[in-house]
Amino acid sequence: MGTFDISRINFDKTKHYSSVRMQQGRVLTDDDWNENERIEDEDFRESKVDIIGPYGTPDDGFLIKNPQFLEGDAIDFDINPGTIYLGGLRLELEAAKETFRTQKDWLQLNPNSYTAGDLREKTRNSLVYIEAWQQAVSAVEDSSLFEVALGGPDTTTRLKIMRRVHLAKSNADNCTEAWDKLKEEWKKQKLGKINEEYERISDTKLTVTFDKSGLSEDNCSPSAIGGYLGAENQAIRVQIVDENHFTWGFDNASPLYRVLLDASNKTITLLTEPKDQYHWPLTGYNVEILPWSAVLPNGEKISEESGFLTKVETSYDPDTTQFTIKDAISPDFGMGWKNRKDREDLEEQTPPEYFYMRIWNRGTDLSSDAAIEFEKDKPITLGQTGIEITISGNEAIRSDFWVIAARPETPNQIVPWEAEKGISSYGVRRFFAPLAIIQWSFSSNQEIKGEVISDCRIPFLPLTDLLSSEDLRLHHKYLHGFGVVCGLKVKCGNKREGIIVETGVALDCEGYMIRVKKPIPYNLVERAIKQKLLNNSGNGRVSVIISRGNNHQPQISIEPFVLESFWDRVLEGTLIKDFWDHCIKNLIELFTANFVIGNEVVPVTREQRRTTAFINLFAQVLNPQSGSFAFISSKSTKTEDLGDGSDEDDLLREFYYKLREQLESETYCGMYDGDRPFPDYIIEPGLDTIFGPPFKIHQKLKTSADGRFAYTCGGNNKVYVYSVGDSQELIQVSTVNGGTNFKLTDIVINSNGDVLYAVGNDNSNTLFAMASIDSESGKLRWKKNSIVSNEQFVSLGIDGKNNLYAIAKAKGLYLINGIGNSTFSPRGIKDFNATGLLHISNFNERWIALAGDNFTNTPISNFDGHLIIDLDSPGQYENTHLIINGNDATNDIISDEQYVYASGNRKDGQRIISRFYFGEFQENASVDVEDNGFIRMAIHTGNQIDYLLFSLSAGCKVLRVPLNREGNFIVDTNFRIPTQLASFDIVVHSKNNSAYVLNAFVNTLTTINLAEVFNSQPQPTYTMEPPVELWQYRRAVYNAYLDLLTHLVQSLKDCFCDKFLVDCPECDEDDKVYLGCVDIRNNQVHHICNFTKRKYVKSFKTVEYWMSTIPVMPIVREAFSKFCCMVIEPKPKETVVKAKYEGTMEPLDPKVITPQ
């Protein structure tokens, strides 16, 4: 390839210049003219891409035909004459016949490539693709460009459009898949990527800097440092040789000569006389020997873009016109054209064969290698120029080049300026596109034959034909739909391995006609095996599809047959099916996507949290008395702005707007007028919610020694671990080793905080387990466990010496040691008729257990007595009947330094909490409790006043009893802490001044900041009995949803009626033209059903016009029209929510509500 003898390249299309204008009295340079040409050429090229598209053909140009094997198993095929457009370049193949191996633009095609290879006894596909680019042609290559009247000098050069057809192995049958795989393979080989205009784009960039070191002190050397050191204006060409080498030279490496090689392949004879002595090849010069690339119609040959690089060994002798090169050239170099059938035509010239030579003149730099090795991102100085270049990127492609314009007048400024920051190569701009897929197979008569199975060219119509064809396509699409028009029967093939699709016509979803002019044989079994659609026995069922190929030709394909249900088949395409899919199903999917129940995922998902939030909200419908006051959390007060979804207000608010958007009518614009809005969150801080998996009902709660983690159990064989510090979330679902039949009844943590013990039973046997607690994460790691047969241990306790105790129902108290060891055996401390409640005092090392009223060793859960023992003297104990009784599951026992507190019932049935002296165990005082649910208690030690806190499961709240108020033991009736559904346990942790309530039904933890709840001034409104603002907020949220749901019927009605306004069809990947299904057995076609999934196109609807003879339909239409235009606007009724005091809480204005 000749290069341009130019001064510089400064074209940048992003500047959007439209032309070049001359000015009077100015010099016109080569760059001015060339840039004008580049502006016009690029504009014209991009215009063709915009109008025609990046790839297409208006005729049969470059159609691949007649694939065959020549002598020696060489692959060949015909390339049809015509035109193809690629990347805005017009490629033309004249009428003369051209084959793959006789391409005029590829004289050096390797004769030993593209052979049969490993084709024997197997099938292989080849992807045929085309490459196009533009390259310079000089007068040295095409002698007709010389103007002899000038006495010999050349004038201008030309740009030639080059095109070559290539082959690549492929295992794909369709063009899209084969092309995508080839592009991916190129990308892996670091050959760049193909963009939407089919152009190869490389990420390699060249950055130009200057050598800061300067030259050694020499009076003859320039003194400039950090700039261009040359004395002449230069266009320096930098060109990639391979992925690790480049070469460079002055004058854009434009000096080109015709040369001859002698028998040694080291002596060069110039056929083209150098212009002057400056252009003589001298010792140390770098030269490149170039073979022929293409033949022109006048018989002239043009050179390849790159060739063999070497250095001049002995200088040019003008008398002999010869010189020698350092490295001998291979005898096979540039000889590919000699294996062509048209070799004799190529030799019709004088001399019959020759080469071209390019000189890479580097001035005084005679020592550098012809091909210079480079490392990515590492600067390299270009000889003595003072210019440094840095090549970056991973896709250095052979022959890509840059031109650096350096001027002594501006040594610190090169052109283009952008090169100082990194610039992509100027070229060579190459375009690639697929042409066809050839399938090579080994026939039964031992011959290899080829068949074009896919034409990958993209056809286009002339503008004069385009509008009429587009109108017809739209007519098909919008008036008829898609499907079979006629014919296209699928029948058995001549062999049982295939099928035959008979002639016929179909319309695809876009309205394009698919016409089968002659029967199409299709090797169905082979294709099914390739797509892995058959089982190991060779059986399966496939659906047959017809589609429009890239060249408008019919294309047969198959897919797995999917048996649809009866109703899916019957209702497909019906209005009722569309109503279900677009009106009802969307609503169902909205709920299923936003609500999840039952999954134990860590952390708890947004959908599970939303499920919990809605249960808490709508609890007031089922239980207005207490559900109306259940707590709903938020991190801070907010309005319509959505948070991060970590609290219940966020989750309720977010779904409200999702549902509102889903229900919105496209025709009833004022549907939401007058609706009550979603309220602002107005609840003060102090309470929060930590979410666990909903409906996994746990009853026991414990906290770690440092107060950073909480642990719950009950109802299954798992312990949930929560972080109650900054993250406040579920961090582990830990399953106890030992089987799913055991349900944990209690857990306890030793005083060191590094071991958790668990006990569970399966109604007959008991499992003891222990786990280590990670000090950083708080997570559990279970160790060995032990099982006790025929005993029901239910409760655990640990004393200050880390001794573990357990209660066995109807048996008594046991000391537990050696869990997981072979010697494990619980040791009895005291036999008595235990019911299950156990408490060990933190103050005086005594345990208290509640017992039944008989000693028949029958496991019971009801107590009416107590047992108290000093753990230091196990023989000393008291057994006393209490004045209270009850069930151990719904009651609790706790103590402080002076008293024991126990819940239960008096003989008259009143629920109470009694206070007893430790020493005498006589009742000191009691308080009545209006709750028949679960009661759990905890002691909060305040700054001035201690409190007994007790949770009421049925009341969704925690109440308090002041403990050191001059002997008074009464419930603070003006105080409550709202919790959530089924508050089954409460724990106070002094280290972080917090309390935690386990809400069993929704499996959440209500966290209570005791400092904010007890000490804030003014007192948080939610702690006032009743919590009016909490009720107001809950009721406003409920009303907002209630108003929204009243529009459900209107929304469904409008959506249903909208289906009668027929939408224009939109195509998707499921809209295929099915011809039927085929049953395959033992790798043979067994049965064909042409009716399965086949659909015929529709014609104009004339039935309605005929039926209008008796105007039943117009009457029905009028009535239906009135129904569809009806507005359904029910007024929501106010829901009366009764409070615990007289009256209602109907108004939403806080000024109207006065607590009783």
Q: Position of tokens 């009783």?
A: 1156
DSSP, residue by residue, 115-156: B-TT-TTS-EEEEEEEEEEEEEE-TTT-GGG--GGGTS----
Confidence at 667, pLDDT banded by 50, 70, 90: confident
pLDDT, tens digit (0-9, with 9 covering 90-100), for 993-1051: 899 999 998 899 999 999 889 888 888 999 998 899 999 999 999 999 999 988 888 88
796 forms beta bridges with: 806
Task: Read off the DSSP letter of residue 418.
Answer: G
The pLDDT assigned to 1139 comes to 40
pLDDT higher than threshold 80 for residue 1123: no
Q: Measured at the alpha carbon of residue 920, what is the angle toward residues 918 and 921, in degrees to the nearest 5?
A: 65
Average pLDDT over the chain reads 86
Confidence at 114, pLDDT banded by 50, 70, 90: confident
The pLDDT assigned to 919 comes to 64
The pLDDT assigned to 1154 comes to 32
What's the whole-number mean pLDDT along residues 238-249? 96
The pLDDT assigned to 285 comes to 96
Confidence at 1129, pLDDT banded by 50, 70, 90: low
pLDDT, tens digit (0-9, with 9 covering 90-100), for 490-536: 999 888 889 999 999 999 999 999 999 889 999 999 999 999 999 99
Per the structure block, which two tokens stand in for 663?
A: 């229900």
Considering only residues 897 and 758, tell me which one the structure prediction assigns the higher pLDDT. 758
Cβ(874)–Cβ(830) below 8 Å: yes
The pLDDT assigned to 1113 comes to 55
pLDDT, tens digit (0-9, with 9 covering 90-100), for 1022-1031: 999 889 999 9
| Phi, psi dihedrals of residue 565, rounded to the nearest 5° | -70, 165
- CB under 8 Å, gap of 24 or more: what pairs does 487-495 form? 487/516, 488/516, 488/546, 488/1075, 489/1090, 490/544, 490/1075, 490/1076, 490/1078, 490/1088, 490/1090, 491/1088, 492/1085, 492/1088, 493/521, 493/522, 493/524, 493/1085, 494/521
Amino acid at 22: M
Confidence at 564, pLDDT banded by 50, 70, 90: confident
The pLDDT assigned to 1037 comes to 93
pLDDT higher than threshold 60 for residue 121: no
Pairing label, strands 911-917, 893-895: unpaired
The pLDDT assigned to 1086 comes to 92
Confidence at 1150, pLDDT banded by 50, 70, 90: very low
The pLDDT assigned to 1058 comes to 82
pTM over 0.85: no
What's the whole-number mean pLDDT along residues 37-49? 93
Whole-angstrom CA distances from 929 to 459, 911, 913, 960 are 87, 5, 7, 11
Cβ(1126)–Cβ(1052) below 8 Å: no
pLDDT, tens digit (0-9, with 9 covering 90-100), for 677-713: 999 998 999 999 999 988 888 999 999 988 899 999 9
pLDDT, tens digit (0-9, with 9 covering 90-100), for 801-823: 888 999 988 888 899 998 989 88
What's the whole-number mean pLDDT along residues 1104-1114? 51
